[in-house]
Chain A
Amino acid sequence: MTPAEWQIVAFTAGMAVLSTALILVPGVTLAWCLARLRWRGKSLVETVVALPLVLPPVVTGLVLLKLFGRRGPLGHWLYSEFHLDIVFTWRAVALALAVMSFPLLVRTARAAIEEVNPTLEQMARTLGAGEWRVFFTITLPLAKRGLLAGTLLAFARALGEFGATIMVAGNIPGVTTTLSTDIYQLVQLGEDSHAWTLAGISLALAFAALWISERLQARSKI
C-alpha cells in the first residue's frame, strides 16, 4: 500500500467516526422522542429523517450543496459569522456521511427503545426517578445492544457513502477523496488493480465493524 492509499483509508475511517460521533446524541435523542412521546408533526419529522434512505444520494447531495454553498442560506450564514467554508472541504464529507447515515441510526435506535417495556420506566418513576435517571438507568442499559447496532450500522454506512459525498464535497485528492470516490476514479482511469486494493480494504473495514459489533453484543448479553 502506498502512503496515498493509507491517507485515503485513514481519512475515510476518520470521517466515518466523526460523522457517527456527531449524530449519536441527536440521533438517540430523536429516536427517544419518536419512541416515547406523542407530539404534533411527529410523522412529518419521521418522513424527513427517512428521506435520505430512499432519495437518490446525489439528490441529497445536491440539496446539501445548495444549502451549504457560500450562497446557500446556511453556508452564507456560516461563512459570514464564522468564516467557515463547508462545500468541497473535509467538513462537507463529514456532513454528507452524517446526513446519509442518520436515518439508519434513528430507526435502529427507535426500535431498540420501543422494545424496552414502558412499565419498567413507569416503575422507576413511581420510585422517585426523574426522566434523566429513568433514561440512563433503565432505558439506555436495556436498549444498549440495539443502540450499539445502530451506531455500527451508521458507521458502516458512512464508510461506503458515495453519491452525496461526491456532490457536496467533490473528489479532491488529499482533501475530500474517500475510499468510494477514489475507487470510482481509479476505475474510470483504468487502474483496476489499485481499485481492487481499495475495494479489499473497504471489505476489511466493513467486516471489522460488523465483527466488532457482533462481539460486543455477545459480551453484553445478560
Chain B
Amino acid sequence: MTPGIQASFTKRFADGPVIRAENLHASTNGVTVLFGPSGSGKTTMLRCLAGLEQPEAGQIQFDGEVWFDSDSKKIVPARKRNTGFVPQDYALFPHLTVAANIGYGLYGQSATKKKARVSEIVRWLGLDKLETRLPHELSGGQQQRVGLARAVVRRPRLLLLDEPLSALDTPTRQRLRGELRSQLLQLGIPAILVTHDRYEAAALGDQLVVLDQGLMLQTGPVADVINHPTNLAVAAIVGTETVLLGHLTRVSDGLATVNVNGHEFTALAEDLPSGANAVHLCIRAEDVILIQNGGAPASARNRLSATVLALAPEGPMMRIELDCGFPLKALLTRQACDELALKAGASVVALIKAPHIHLIPR
C-alpha cells in the first residue's frame, strides 16, 4: 500500500487539452504544489481528487483505498472521501456566520462537541471575535483563514487548496504565505496546492509538479525542479529564476546573511518574519552580472566564482548555466557574451547586488 494519494487518470474536456495525471503522488507529510500556467489543468486535477469531477479513465487511491477506478466502475462520492477543499475564492457560505461555516462539516455531532472543535480551530487560526460575523463582513485574509478552518475542521485525510492566496492583495498575500505553510505543516496531513505563482510555489511547496497543456512535465523537490528543468517547456514555465534553499545566519542593519552550501549571501532583510530560519533565495537571471575572472573590486555584495556549463540563445539574449557549487542562471546580451568570450568551461565571476536577492521565508 502506498501511503497518501496515488493517482493516474485522464480527463477530457470539450474545448481544452486532455488532462493526464501520471503517477501523481502526495505522501503523508508536506505540501505538493501543482504549478503551471492557467489552462494547464491544475484545478481539474484537484477537483478529480476531491471527487467533484470524475475522470474518464484511470485510478485514484488514498492509503490503498480506491476512490476512483474506471475498470471496476468504482466511484467514492466527494462527501465520503473526507478531503478538505479550499477553492480559489474560498466559497464561504454567504448566509452562515463564521462559526456556522466552520462547523458545517461537523453535522451529526453533539452541540458541545461541535462547539469545542470549532473554538479549537478558531483559536488555532486566530479567528476569535469573528465567529458571529457573516463572510461579507470579513477581510480577504480573514476569509482565507475561515476557508481553511472550514476545510480542516473534520480532520480531513487530504487537504486540497486551489490558488489559496490569489484572491488577496499583494501585501496580505506575502504576509500569509509563511503563515499558511506553517499551518499546513502543523496539520500533518498531505496537502496538494495549486498555484501559477512561482514565489508561492517556492514559499509553500516541498514537492513541485509542473503542468502544461494537461501534462505533468516534471516532478521533484521545489528547488530541484526550478534549477534543473528537464526540458525547455519546464524551463519556460518555471522562468529564468534560480531558487536556492538556505539558512538565515544573521540579520543586522536591515541586511540578512544566508548560508547556502557553505556560501554566504547578503540580501535585504525586508519582510522577513522574526524567527525565520529556512529561506528560499530567488535570483532572477537578468540580475546576475558576469565579469572576467579576477576582475576589479565591485560594489555588489555577492561575488561568486563560477564555471560556465552551457549557453543557449534566447531571442537577443543568451541564457547561461553556471556552476558555483550550486546552479545559477544568468541572462546576458549576445554582445556581452562575445566581449567576455564566454564558452562552456570558462571561469568567470558572478556578481549579484544584495537587493536583487529575493528572500522567501519558509
Contact = CB atoms under 8 A, between A and B. Distances in A.
A16 to B, nearest CB: 30
Interface string A114-150: 0001011011111111100100011001100000000
Contact of B78 (A117, A125, A137, A141): A125
Contact of A125 (B79, B87, B154): B79
A124 B107 CA distance: 11
B143 interface: no
B123 to A, nearest CB: 20
A126 B154 CA distance: 10
B107 A123 contact: no
A222 interface: yes
A157 B134 CA distance: 36
B91 A130 contact: no
Nearest to A133: B107
Find the residue from B81, B84, B95 having the highest chain A CB count within 10 A: B95
Contacts of A133: 107
Contacts of B82: 128
A127 B50 CA distance: 11
A117 B91 contact: yes
B105 A127 contact: yes
Contacts of B50: 126
Contacts of A126: 50-52, 78-79, 81, 83-85, 151
Given A123-B87, A222-B134, A128 B95 contact: no
Nearest to B108: A128
A92 B91 CA distance: 47
Contacts of A128: 79-80, 82, 105, 107, 154
Nearest to B156: A126
Interface residues of B, number: 26
Contacts of A142: 94-95
B199 interface: no
Nearest to B135: A222
Nearest to B50: A126
Contacts of A123: 85, 87, 91, 93, 150
Nearest to A130: B79
Contacts of A129: 79, 104, 107
B76 to A, nearest CB: 12
Given A119-B87, A120-B91, A125 B77 contact: yes
Nearest to B86: A123
B91 A127 contact: no
Contacts of B84: 126
Interface in B49-89: 50-52, 77-85, 87, 89
Contacts of B134: 222
Contacts of B104: 124, 127, 129, 137
Kindly name the residue among A119, A122, A123, A138 whose own CB sees the greatest number of chain B CB atoms within 10 A.
Answer: A123
Contact of A122 (B78, B136, B151, B154): B78
B52 to A, nearest CB: 5
Interface in B131-147: 134, 136
A123 B80 CA distance: 13
Contact of B94 (A130, A137, A222): A222
Contact of A138 (B52, B81, B93): B93
Contacts of A124: 93, 104
A222 B135 CA distance: 11
Interface string B80-117: 11111101010101110000000011010000000000
Interface string B313-351: 000000000000000000000000000000000000000
B144 to A, nearest CB: 14
A94 B136 CA distance: 43
Interface of A: 117, 119-120, 122-130, 133, 137-138, 141-142, 222
Q: Which 3 A-B pairs have the closest CB atoms?
A: A127-B105, A119-B91, A126-B85
Interface of B: 50-52, 77-85, 87, 89, 91, 93-95, 104-105, 107, 134, 136, 150-151, 154
Given A120-B93, A126-B51, 13 more contacts: A117-B91, A120-B91, A122-B78, A123-B91, A123-B93, A124-B93, A126-B52, A127-B107, A128-B79, A128-B107, A137-B104, A138-B93, A222-B136
8 contacts: A124-B93, A125-B77, A126-B52, A126-B84, A128-B105, A137-B104, A142-B95, A222-B95
